[in-house]
Chains A and B, each alone.
Chain A
Amino acid sequence: MRFRFDAQASDGLRVLPEIPDVTPCLIEGRNGIGKTVAVRLLELIAGNQPFAGFDRQWHSLRQRLGRTVVHVDHLRNGERLEFTFTPESWEVEGKAPLELGEWLGEVNINDERASVAEAQRLLWVERFAGNEDLDDTLRRRTRLYADAAERTSQAVASAVSLVTAVLEPVRSELLANDPEELTEAKQQLKAAEDDEKSSREKLALLIDAHELVLEAITARDRLSVAEDPAQGLGERLRELKAQLEALDKERTQLEQRINKTQTELSRQGDPQATLGDAQRTLRYRRKRLRNVQAEIERLSAQLAVKDVPEVVAAAEADVRRELEELEARRRALDASGITARLIDGMVPFLSGGQAEGLDDQVIVDLPDHRLNVAETRDGMERRREHLRGEPKPEELEALVHQSGQLRRRLVQVQDLARQLTESAKIRERAEVAEAEEEAAEKGVKEAGQRDEQYRADNQRLGAVEEEIDGVNHQVTEVHIQLGLEGGQSPEDARADLQRQLEALDVEAESELDEHERSQREEVNQARVRVQRASEHVTALRRSVTVLAASIDAAVASLQAEDRFAWLQAFLPREKDSAVESFARLRAAVIQLVDQLEETRNLVQVVGQFADAALGEEKMIPDRELYGAVRAVLADELLTSLDTEPIRERLFGGARIQSVDLGARELVLARNGGPSLPRPFDTFSTGEQAFAFTQARILELEPSDKPNRLLVLDEFGAFVAADRMPDLAEFLRSEPVAPIADQVLVILPLQIDYEAEIDDTTGSLRSRYEERVSQLQAREYYTQKLEA
């Protein structure tokens, strides 16, 4: 192949004018005449990017190359290639592109227009730098990884910017509203409501307990008054009891005598027996009637209700009505919290995006008037404010107290009604008994069996029982005057008080006051707790309302704005699950934006790690990842170096056991032999570098392209070491032949041939004269490389 360069370069950039069709061809020339530039241009035509990782050099070439034309002829099958570089079409910024496209230049093949791709398929060029030792090679390889990572990083950063530009407005919209807060606030509200309810129940229990103590204190105080001798009522009671005892004794005696007489009369005949039975029945019924009437009087006095059935029925109806009113009030108090929450849920609908512009539209149509959206919303908000803080502890407390009193009164009124009914029935039966008694009396008279003593005893017994009832009635009246509950006797009242003390777990009456103070204090503390719980619930209801409205507004904004149209498929559709859907979307968007940022950083840092893999560790932020990247690179370098040619020529047949990039050394091992660490720099002698270059050349896979050029650049060290014959022999060897059709060996000018020419003779002088002639003409010479 012959290469001719029609350079249009500027700013000191030079290109070798010609490379002859000679192989192996030695080119020796002064520095700066464009030997390496010519090879770089050929690499570009062949589709290689020699400037990968050297962006500054790439742009320097772009700026100075001009429309340089490369003519290649003597190609296989006599083909000709003309390649005109078009640097004016190259990207003016950025990294050296790895893909070389049609922008690179204009192509003619055999005088016909062709593509850059066709030129790339025609030519294969591989350049080796003779000054590149093992260390340089490894460094170049790691640099390639770093460069690739940098390119990927740029692409990822650009993509992240585009995707983030789409996601960020959504994130901003979502970020301000945290459904977790709403969920948490709702949970707190539920707990606070439970706490409030529990506090109210405890308060009610404490109030009941306190009332019991107060009742016990009242009973104690009444008893104390009742037992006060100064009242004189005690003496009156004792007199009445003495009367009762005497009457009771007389009654017992009369009953015994009457029973005895009755037994005898029964033996005498029926009329007497009948009279005895009639009189006993009459006494019994009259006694029952008196008892019932006494109970009626007591209840009537206690309830302040006249003992007339119609009046009692009206009183019962009144009590029931009052109880129903209290019940309705209690339900209203219980419902106030639920109603407030219902309003909490409804107001956002009337103030959110869906209601925008509808304030004056009628939304409620009542028989007498209508309400528009704004009025309904304002009314609901006012009602909610009114309901907040209800039920108030003192209100509830009074309610509980009143209900208890009314229920007790109802029981007593019902009892009074029952006693009135019973009284009417007994009165009828007593009248029947009176008639029967009169008839029996008449029968005895007619039979002539009248027993005057028996008759007198019966009359007296009736009179005694009436007296007993009368005294009992007086006793009750005295009890009532004593102020004891239900007209109890002081003994019964004391027994009741004792039972109350036991129920309250109080040992002595004297402890009641202290107990009451303690109970009162507990009630007051419980009231404070209820008040606080109620305020807490109110505050949390406000928070829940605000947070829910805020989320609704955010969803409405996302649904309404055109810039979020792409997001519609992800927005909540069902109202019931809106908050959950919103929470999922929010978490996903926030996490995604964070992941994008992390991924951008990761790719960037991997490139930095690859670049820093060779040599001592520096300040590394992520040691685990750095270690992993380094280990992967070490594995890859080991694989690329542990080949047959390199083992034979560089390592004396030993295998590479491992590569330690940090210590910059290889560990070699022969079969059965010990491991031997070898620093990279022990392979940097000229001889080692030459062996390494030979090995790398032999590693090359023969290309399918029809025209293959192998270039050994910067090979001055070999000439200086007098290894040129070895090199020539290697390049003509059998393994190299399938790799390249033509080989160039490029050297810097080794000596001043013109100055040396006078000291030479024979063929050497002729060679020198030829070289001087070429050097004078174009500053370099070419010749076939001889062994």
Chain B
Amino acid sequence: MTLRLLKAASHKLSEDRRRDVLAQHDLVVQLLRVSDDESGMEVAQELLRDAL
């Protein structure tokens, strides 16, 4: 529900801001996996790989 709200809200923002909020939306999706089946270290590795 929150992810849907975040994504829908991003489409009502200015171009730069939309890009930021969508990036944060994707980050939330990755972070929510920590509690599911990945450890903080695995997610940190994944995020760092994406960032590099």
Seen from chain A, the residues whose Cβ lies within 8 Å of a Cβ on chain B are 144-145, 148-149, 151-153, 155-156, 158-160, 162-163, 165-167, 566-567, 569-570, 584-585, 588-589, 591-592, 595-596, 598-599, 602-603, 606-607, 610, 624-625, 627-629, 631-633, 635
Nearest residue in B to A600 (C-beta to C-beta)?
B31
Seen from chain B, the residues whose Cβ lies within 8 Å of a Cβ on chain A are 1-3, 5-6, 8-10, 12-14, 17, 21, 23-24, 27-28, 31-35, 39-41, 43-45, 47-49, 51-52
Distance between A138 CB and nearest chain B CB, rounded to angstroms: 16
| A602–B12 alpha-carbon span in the complex (Å) | 16
Do A628 and B13 touch (CB < 8 A)? yes
Do B51 and A159 touch (CB < 8 A)? no
Q: For residue B21, which residues in chain A have a CB less than 8 angstroms away from its CB?
A: 602, 625
Do B40 and A632 touch (CB < 8 A)? no
Do A570 and B48 touch (CB < 8 A)? yes
Q: Given A588-B52, A606-B6, answer yes or no on A156-B32 (Cβ-Cβ < 8 Å).
A: yes
- Looking at chain B's contact residues, the main secondary structure is helix
Do B2 and A607 touch (CB < 8 A)? yes
Do A159 and B12 touch (CB < 8 A)? no
Do B40 and A163 touch (CB < 8 A)? yes
Q: For residue A584, which residues in chain B have a CB less than 8 angstroms away from its CB?
A: 52
Do A592 and B51 touch (CB < 8 A)? yes
Do A163 and B43 touch (CB < 8 A)? yes
Do B47 and A592 touch (CB < 8 A)? yes
Do A566 and B41 touch (CB < 8 A)? yes
Q: Given A148-B1, A159-B34, answer yes or no on A603-B47 (Cβ-Cβ < 8 Å).
A: no
* 3 A-B pairs with least C-beta separation: A162-B40, A159-B34, A159-B31
Other-chain residue from B10, B31, B39 in contact with A628 (beta carbon distance below 8 A): B10
Q: For residue A145, which residues in chain B have a CB less than 8 angstroms away from its CB?
A: 1-2, 5
Distance between B17 CB and nearest chain A CB, rounded to angstroms: 6
Distance between B41 CB and nearest chain A CB, rounded to angstroms: 5
| A606–B44 alpha-carbon span in the complex (Å) | 24
Q: For residue B17, which residues in chain A have a CB less than 8 angstroms away from its CB?
A: 624-625
| A158–B31 alpha-carbon span in the complex (Å) | 9
Other-chain residue from B8, B9, B44, B47 in contact with A566 (beta carbon distance below 8 A): B44
Distance between A585 CB and nearest chain B CB, rounded to angstroms: 7
Q: Given A162-B40, A166-B44, A167-B44, answer yes or no on A632-B28 (Cβ-Cβ < 8 Å).
A: no
Do A610 and B40 touch (CB < 8 A)? no
| A602–B14 alpha-carbon span in the complex (Å) | 16
Query: Would you give 14 A-B contacts (Cβ < 8 Å), ordered by A?
Result: A148-B1, A149-B5, A155-B35, A156-B31, A159-B31, A159-B34, A165-B40, A166-B40, A166-B41, A167-B48, A592-B47, A596-B27, A602-B24, A606-B9
Distance between B33 CB and nearest chain A CB, rounded to angstroms: 8
Distance between B42 CB and nearest chain A CB, rounded to angstroms: 9
| A227–B34 alpha-carbon span in the complex (Å) | 102
Distance between B30 CB and nearest chain A CB, rounded to angstroms: 9
Do A588 and B51 touch (CB < 8 A)? yes
Nearest residue in B to A591 (C-beta to C-beta)?
B51
Q: Apart from A159-B33, A569-B45, A625-B9, what 15 extra A-B contacts exist at CB < 8 Å?
A: A144-B1, A156-B32, A160-B31, A162-B39, A162-B43, A569-B49, A592-B47, A625-B21, A628-B10, A629-B5, A629-B9, A631-B9, A631-B12, A632-B8, A632-B12
Do A627 and B2 touch (CB < 8 A)? no
Do A163 and B1 touch (CB < 8 A)? no
| A603–B24 alpha-carbon span in the complex (Å) | 9
Other-chain residue from A159, A589, A629 in contact with B35 (beta carbon distance below 8 A): A159
